[in-house]
């Protein structure tokens, strides 16, 4: 991603880009779910959606369904859309809250077009007419991360990036200021550069091993520290959404691709063993396992400085907040956009890296809070992990959001929020965090008129969703991979 984006924006007459990676070390390769902002990245890189989907065995993603998170048996969702247009200027969840207080049991999900379409197993891109209920959503993709990396590599090479397959075995720092001067590869080649992007994964080869930048550990709030992943044969529903099911010591993902289904159990090593986690995962696959389970260890948190001297860390080298909302690839994308905005010249004015770090810290912390909400808003106390999450202390910034929402149903958004009000509302209401009151201006609308209006909205959504093609048919018709 970094090589492709920088090659797209930096002038080839004045810049040369080297991509150094090691086939032998390989990539993590389990990043299979994305968020809608990836469409902007693909667009900037001139990538044709259907060509990319064929090449990466991709499917469409309208959001995430959460099972058993707040209580065993509870199902809630976070889909890429809202609950319809504001009514008389007031967000629809306030109107829904009023009717709920009057005894209406309609789930708020019925007002989310992507949720209704997703649950019916249907998909089509948003309607062109922005007034339609079928226009108020976005979508992302599930794909094979290894194939996407290869696809982007070709894109970068097509723009003149020079790629070397080799291992970095040494990093030399400049004596006077501690900037990185050069890397040595296992071939013996010495590679000098002005600026280095550390995309070496959890090891943080440059940012940590060489520059000793430090890491802020968030395990207290995001306690899962392991994952076991295994693909299985495609079976069961071909859902246009990710499934996230809470388990005794963590949660399990299910991601349908064209050629297989991706599965993983993210867990906390304090509460279960690797063997038990692997067994739990294998016991719940809906098709035959296609590989041996693969184990990954991580520490949730972030690098203390993302940009340190002449090195910028992206991806897992920058930090990892666990894959619950598929935010890692998004964070790489926003990091690169920010770098392009603040790109340094040879003076390396520290103002640029300070600003980069300030904004990035905010962005990371907002996402962190959103993820913690999924855990701390549980009512479960049936296993040690869930009991811990229910009772743990949380960041003051998240506590404030919860208190304001509980008080009046509003979400106080801060700067650099990746998630807007409908996303927070989905998790709050989905996990039974209810406001004490709705917006009193809702009472300016006659209650019967409101009821009729919301009923009409619900019916329209259902009819429009039912008219869409099945997700499997849409993929087969427009973007089927050759081998699928």
Span of 15-23, 62-70, 116-124, 407-415 interacting with ligand FAD by CB under 6 A = 15-23
- The residue from 213, 261, 326, 333 that contacts ligand FAD (CB under 6 A) is 326
Q: Residue 429, interface with ligand FAD (CB under 6 A)?
A: no
Q: Residue 199, interface with ligand FAD (CB under 6 A)?
A: yes
Q: Residue 191, interface with ligand FAD (CB under 6 A)?
A: no
Q: Residue 367, interface with ligand FAD (CB under 6 A)?
A: no
In the residue annotation, 119 being an active-site residue is answered as: no
Could you count the other beta carbons within 10 Å of the beta carbon of residue 190? 12
- The residue from 140, 168, 171, 339 that contacts ligand FAD (CB under 6 A) is 168
The interface with ligand FAD within residues 213-252 (CB under 6 A) comprises 227, 229
DSSP SS3 for 295: strand
Distance of alpha carbon 335 from the chain centroid: 14
Cβ 35 to ligand FAD shortest distance, Å = 8
DSSP SS3 for 184: strand
Cβ 255 to ligand FAD shortest distance, Å = 7
CB 115 within 8 A of CB 109: yes
Q: Which residues contact 43 (CB under 8 A, 6 or more apart)?
A: none
> Which is nearer to ligand FAD, 84 or 240 (by Cβ)?
240
Q: Residue 261, interface with ligand FAD (CB under 6 A)?
A: no
Residue 121's nearest CA partner among 236, 33, 234, 240 is 240
- The residue from 107, 146, 201, 384 that contacts ligand FAD (CB under 6 A) is 201
Q: Residue 372, interface with ligand FAD (CB under 6 A)?
A: no
Question: How is the beta sheet containing 250-256 ordered, strand by strand?
Answer: 75-79, 63-67, 242-247, 250-256, 261-267, 226-232, 294-297
The pair of three-digit structure tokens given for residue 317, joined into one six-digit string: 């080298």
Q: Residue 205, interface with ligand FAD (CB under 6 A)?
A: yes
DSSP SS3 for 192: strand
Residue nearest to ligand FAD (CB): 315
Tell me how many residues contact ligand FAD (CB under 6 A): 32
Cβ 322 to ligand FAD shortest distance, Å = 8
Q: Which residues contact 105 (CB under 8 A, 6 or more apart)?
A: none
Helix axes 49-56, 145-158, angle to 10 degrees: 130
CA distance 432 to 409: 13
The interface with ligand FAD within residues 20-79 (CB under 6 A) comprises 20-22, 25-28, 30-34
- Binding stretches for ligand FAD (CB under 6 A): 20-22, 25-28, 30-34, 145, 167-168, 199-201, 203, 205, 227, 229, 264, 296, 298, 315-317, 323, 326, 328-329
Q: Which residues are known to be catalytic?
A: 61
């Amino acid at each position: 991603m970094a090589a492709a984006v920088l090659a797209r924006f930096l002038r080839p007459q004045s810049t040369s880009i080297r991509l150094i990676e090691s086939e032998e070390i390989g990539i993590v390769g389990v990043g299979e779910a994305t968020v809608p902002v990836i469409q902007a990245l693909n667009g900037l890189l001139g990538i044709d959606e259907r060509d990319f989907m064929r090449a990466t065995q991709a499917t469409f993603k309208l959001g995430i369904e959460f099972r058993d998170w707040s209580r065993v048996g509870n199902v809630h969702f976070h889909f890429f859309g809202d609950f319809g247009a504001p009514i008389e200027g007031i967000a629809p969840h306030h109107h829904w809250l009023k009717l709920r207080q009057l005894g209406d049991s309609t789930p708020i999900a019925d007002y989310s077009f992507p949720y209704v379409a997703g649950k019916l197993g249907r998909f089509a891109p948003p309607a062109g007419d922005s007034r339609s209920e079928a226009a108020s959503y976005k979508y992302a993709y599930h794909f094979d991360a290894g194939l996407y990396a290869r696809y982007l590599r070709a894109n970068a090479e097509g723009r003149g990036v020079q790629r070397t397959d080799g291992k970095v075995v040494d990093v030399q720092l400049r004596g006077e200021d501690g900037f990185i001067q050069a890397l040595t590869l296992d071939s013996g080649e010495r590679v000098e550069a002005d600026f280095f992007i550390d995309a070496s994964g959890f090891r943080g080869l440059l940012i940590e091993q060489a520059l000793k930048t430090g890491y802020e550990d968030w395990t207290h709030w995001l306690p899962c520290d392991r994952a076991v992943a295994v693909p299985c044969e495609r079976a069961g529903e071909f859902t246009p959404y990710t499934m996230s099911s809470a388990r005794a010591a963590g949660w399990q993902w299910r991601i349908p691709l064209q050629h297989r289904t991706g599965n993983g159990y993210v867990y906390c090593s304090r509460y279960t063993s690797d063997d038990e986690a692997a067994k739990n995962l294998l016991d719940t696959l809906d098709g035959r396992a296609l590989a041996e389970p693969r184990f990954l260890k991580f520490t949730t948190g972030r690098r203390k400085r993302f940009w340190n001297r002449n090195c910028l860390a992206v991806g897992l080298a920058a930090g990892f907040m666990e894959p619950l909302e598929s935010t890692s690839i998004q964070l790489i994308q926003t990091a690169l956009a920010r770098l392009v905005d603040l790109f340094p010249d040879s003076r390396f004015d520290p103002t640029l890296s300070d600003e980069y770090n300030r904004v990035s810290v905010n962005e990371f912390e907002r996402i962190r809070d959103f993820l913690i909400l999924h855990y701390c808003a549980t009512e479960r106390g049936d296993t040690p992990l869930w009991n811990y999450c229910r009772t743990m202390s949380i960041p003051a910034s998240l506590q404030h959001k919860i208190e304001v929402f509980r008080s009046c149903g509003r979400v106080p958004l801060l700067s650099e929020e990746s998630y807007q009000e409908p996303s927070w509302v989905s998790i709050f209401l989905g996990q039974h965090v209810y406001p004490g009151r709705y917006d009193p201006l809702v009472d300016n609308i006659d209650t019967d008129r409101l009821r009729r209006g919301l009923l009409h909205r619900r019916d329209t959504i259902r009819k429009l969703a039912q008219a869409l093609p099945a997700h499997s048919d849409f993929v087969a018709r427009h973007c089927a991979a050759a081998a699928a």
